[in-house]
Amino acid sequence: MESSRKFFPAIAILLLLLVATEMAPAQARECETASSKFTGMCMIQANCDHLCKTEGFKGGDCRGIRPCCMCMTQC
């Protein structure tokens, strides 16, 4: 009987951790890919964003040392 009292708090904490990890929402990762239609250097963010949306992506940004249009989507 005494040994079961020693393990009860440990079992309770383990169950709480298990429930907490199951209830936590999964975070969606974002992946990037270069736009297939954008040509030249990317200078205006709005143009890149619009073009990526027409290609079916979530949006886009100008990225890099020599800026190119990178489209974003959820992985």
Number of domains in the chain: 1
Per-residue pLDDT tens for 39-62? Answer: 999 999 999 999 999 999 999 999
Instruction: Decide if pLDDT at 5 tops 90.
Output: no
**Three-state SS string across 32-58, please?**
EEECCCCCCCCCCHHHHHHHHHHCCCC
At 75, is the pLDDT very low, low, confident or very high (cuts 50, 70, 90)?
confident
pLDDT of 30 reads 86
Range of the domain at 18: 2-74
Per-residue pLDDT tens for 15-31? Answer: 555 555 555 466 678 89
CATH number at residue 14: 3.30.30.10
Q: Which pTM value belongs to this model?
A: 0.60
Return the structure tokens found at 10: 């440990």
